[in-house]
Structure 1
Amino acid sequence: MRQRPTRPNQPAQPPPPFNAQSARRLRTALDMGPEHVAYGLRVSYGLPYITPDLVVAWERGQLSPSDSELAALAGVLWCSPGELIGKPRTLREHRIARGLAPEDIARSAGLELLAYLHMEEHNSWRGNDRQSAALAELLRLSLPDFISVTGREGKLTELLRSAASTRWQAYVRPVGKVVPLDRRLLEDSLQQLHQDYQGQMVASLSWGDGTAANESSDLGRDFLDRIVDHFWAAVQDNTE
């Protein structure tokens, strides 16, 4: 996707993931043309360079709006910024999706603004438990999103791969230090994860043809590549 060149005095930050189809759908639902959106962005939000052609380029996925442009576009389209972006992946993208400024996060979490901006720039959360709880509440993070945003997903992946392929019981406590879940729920979920992985490996080996070993290896590798998704699915299954 082409991106707008960085303007003078504008931080060199990649644009948030933009849902072009959603932007077009919302505009059409309001019976607005690209020219109406461009006019609103120029007059109401002080963006004099916005043209109908630029709005169309956004909607075609040829360009992506910057943080400030996306927030203004949400205002013109009477929606939240979260309705105009794809699934947030980083701390910064979750903040943008909630329509919050960095100052809002820093103040609520009790952080110096520069310290928070450094965390956001490197997508590396370093807050304590109280600050992490404030972050999760302010951004309305699900537990999977919280684990991802706070940089714990890599460690979780490593532990889950070992739990699935060896003795899951040995990983209850280590995983519990990364994911704040009830111990019984965690035990049930890790046991299910282990059983699903081992069951898949055994089933593929029982096919009995010459490619069984290769198929088993491929399936096992695919399962481990998506181990975090499988884990959250197991947690969901055992929560119901």
Structure 2
Amino acid sequence: MRHSAQPNPPAPPFNAPAARRLRAALGMGPEHVAYGMRASYGLPYVTPDLVIAWERGTVAPGNPELTALAGVLWCSPGELIGRPRTLREHRIARAVAAEDIAHAVGMELRAYLEAEESGQWRGNERQSAALARILELALPDFVAVTGREAKLADLLHSAVTTRWQAYVRPVMKLAPLDKEVVEQVLQELHQDYQGHMAATLSWGGGSRNASESGQQFLDGIVDNFWTAVEGRTG
């Protein structure tokens, strides 16, 4: 059964424990939250049972419900969602309208909404800088929401398995960092991965655990990259 009158874009990940904690801090019961959402936000289907289901994580509120819930709990929508993963989720977390983003970056609204839908950002350097500023995006988040993370993962995979020096400039095009930082990080990742492979090849083929460790390193290559970058720039 659908609760919303009209279809809406996918909602961001909901932080159920935060919703429960905020409600309790206000001394409100689920019935108070439900009443506030019905009376003040025009959501007649919201019941105490639905609020409890949200807080238990069995169902998640949609975008209009999330906005209304934040209003009733006197918090920002960003306090009720998990770590944003997409451009739309970052925008909702900052409680910024799509129209405002489009205006701030100098882009037609339709073009901006297409970027949210496709996960591919096609803005120029000035527009990208404006997007990062208005959404307060850290560099890892900017790379992810603009659809560059998969390409970065491919480059890093090649860098650690072949000659890392050849991938310094390509990585810098995706993640604008100082050349020295990129060189140091790629060299470190290359050495770490080669260490895993050396363990795999030693002693007549190495252990299964060593081989799995190498694959796990590759699976988490983007996270490993940003962790190493933070260690040099944080």
- The corresponding residue for 2:10 is 14
- 1:39 counterpart = 2:35: yes
Unaligned ranges ≥5, structure 2: none
- The corresponding residue for 2:197 is 201
Question: How many residues are paired up?
Answer: 234
Equivalent-residue separation in structure 2 for 1:180 and 1:6 (angstroms): 44
- The corresponding residue for 2:210 is 216
- The corresponding residue for 1:55 is 51
- The corresponding residue for 2:20 is 24
TM-superposed CA distance for 1:14, in Å, is: 2.2
Match among 168, 174, 185 for residue 172 of structure 1: 168
- The corresponding residue for 1:115 is 111
- 1:80 counterpart = 2:76: yes
Letter aligned with residue 10 of structure 1: P
- Structure 1 length as normaliser, TM-score? 0.91
Q: How does 1:128-207 map to 2 (within 5 A)?
A: 128-206=124-202
Equivalent-residue separation in structure 1 for 2:47 and 2:205 (angstroms): 58
Deviation string for 1:27-51 (max 9, x for gaps)? 0111110011111112222222221
- Structure 2 length as normaliser, TM-score? 0.94
Match among 215, 223, 229 for residue 229 of structure 1: 223
- The corresponding residue for 2:61 is 65
Deviation string for 1:153-182 (max 9, x for gaps)? 111001101111111111111111111001
Secondary structure (helix, strand or coil) at the match of 2:192 reads helix
Unaligned ranges ≥5, structure 1: none
Deviation string for 1:181-226 (max 9, x for gaps)? 01111111111111111122224544x3x67253333222111111
Equivalent-residue separation in structure 2 for 1:187 and 1:170 (angstroms): 10
Identity of aligned residues (%): 65
**CA-atom RMSD, angstroms?**
1.7
